[in-house]
């Protein structure tokens, strides 16, 4: 937004480069793990050209692939990827994006970011949240940045139909920027201020009680690199309603731990359906994802990757 801030970029490159080069020399580092292809991965790839006995893993988390672009940036990203010993992405969607960037299939490991199974747990259920917002029946939850691609107006507009059948239903929206004011006006214009409350942005450490206390998470986004909020909710025994787009089908199983929708018109009926009856036991909802996305599983996959790389280094 402020082009004068571009003056910071050369300093960022310089200090990243110098600091990492110093750390490698001091601690005899064998492997660098760069998160984001650009800028981190690019700088670390330059260092690898100097220190040829250093191996490089690069992980893309999303926006560096499908948001940050332009022919110059894309060329730098391609060069960076070609210098890496291993490349990982957090979802199958991003693997497809990477292959599009490289103009061909590229050997890539899919390793999710994972979720701390002790932090996001049903034991964090907190009745005080319900009392604070006068929730006497079903508690719906939305957690995300309030951005256009999250389709939050669809969720708000579906609430009158839900309230016709279940008038005591309450929706809490956790998030902030950039559509905060517009969404608040939409709630007031539809006379929904007694059924929809904006919690605004809260820190990640304060989220577990909301997940564990909610009856369902509504996740109507159409653009996600990794559906982290879905996994966090499922770890907390909370079913998820989302669209069967991108790779959400890898997480949400229709009729087992949530509902998969094909278009926006199904949203209100899916909410009513979950209000009417639970699709699975709470234990089944958590077990459907915990083994695949817990930190122990993610750490195991990275341990295998590091073992492979360091064995190459020793030879």
Assess contact for 127 and 146: CB atoms under 8 A: no
Entry pTM: 0.88
Residue given tokens 């981190």 in the structure block: 40
Instruction: Give one DSSP letter per residue of the chain, joined into a string.
Output: --GGGGGHHHHHHHHHHHHHHHHHHHHT--EEEEESIIIIIHHHHHHHHHSTT-EEEEEE-SHHHHTS--HHHHHHHHHHHHH-SEEEESSHHHHHHHHHHHTS----EE----B-TTTS-GGG--HHHHHHTT--S-EEEEES-B-GGG-HHHHHHHHHHHHHH-TT-EEEEE--SBSHHHHHHHHHHTT-TTTEEE-----GGGSHHHHHH-SEEEE--S--SS-HHHHHHHHTT--EEEES-TTGGGT--BTTTEEEESSGGGHHHHHHHHHH--SS-HHHHHHHHHHHHBHHHHHHHHHHHHHHHHHHHH-
Assess contact for 67 and 91: CB atoms under 8 A: no
Task: Provide the residue-wise pLDDT of the chain in tens; the chain has 315 residues.
Answer: 788 988 998 999 999 999 999 999 999 998 999 999 988 999 999 999 998 889 999 999 888 887 777 899 999 999 999 999 999 999 888 899 999 999 999 999 999 989 999 999 999 999 999 999 999 999 999 999 898 888 899 999 999 999 999 999 999 999 998 899 999 999 999 999 999 999 999 999 999 999 999 999 999 887 776 788 999 999 999 999 998 876 788 899 999 999 999 988 899 999 999 998 878 788 889 998 999 999 999 999 999 999 988 887 665
């Amino acid at each position: 937004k402020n082009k004068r801030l571009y003056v910071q970029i050369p300093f960022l490159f310089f200090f990243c480069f110098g600091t990492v080069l110093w750390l490698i020399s001091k601690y005899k580092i064998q492997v660098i793990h760069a998160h984001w292809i650009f800028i981190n991965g690019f700088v670390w790839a330059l260092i690898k050209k100097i220190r040829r006995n250093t191996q490089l893993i690069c992980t893309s988390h999303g926006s560096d692939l499908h948001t940050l672009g332009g022919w110059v940036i894309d060329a730098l990203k391609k060069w960076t990827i070609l210098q890496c010993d291993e490349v990982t992405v957090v979802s199958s969607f991003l693997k497809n994006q990477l292959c599009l960037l490289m103009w061909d299939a590229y050997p890539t490991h899919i390793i999710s970011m994972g979720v701390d199974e002790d932090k996001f747990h049903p034991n964090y259920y907190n009745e005080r949240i319900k009392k604070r917002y006068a929730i006497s029946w079903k508690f719906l939850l939305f957690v995300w940045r309030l951005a256009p691609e999250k389709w939050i107006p669809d969720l708000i507009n579906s609430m009158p139909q839900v309230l016709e059948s279940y008038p005591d239903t309450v929706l809490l929206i956790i998030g902030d920027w950039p559509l905060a004011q517009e969404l608040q006006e939409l709630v007031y214009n539809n006379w929904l201020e007694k059924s929809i409350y904006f919690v605004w942005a809260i820190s990640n450490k304060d989220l577990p009680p909301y997940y564990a206390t909610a009856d369902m998470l509504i996740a109507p986004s159409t653009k996600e690199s990794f559906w982290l909020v879905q996994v966090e909710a499922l770890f907390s025994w909370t079913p998820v309603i989302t669209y069967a787009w991108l790779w959400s089908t890898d997480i949400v199983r229709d009729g087992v731990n949530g509902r998969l929708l094909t278009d926006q018109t199904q949203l209100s009926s899916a909410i009513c359906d979950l209000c009417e009856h639970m699709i699975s036991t709470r234990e089944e909802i958590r077990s459907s994802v915990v083994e695949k996305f817990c930190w122990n599983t993610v750490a195991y996959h990275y341990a295998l990757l590091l073992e492979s790389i360091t064995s190459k280094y020793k030879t």
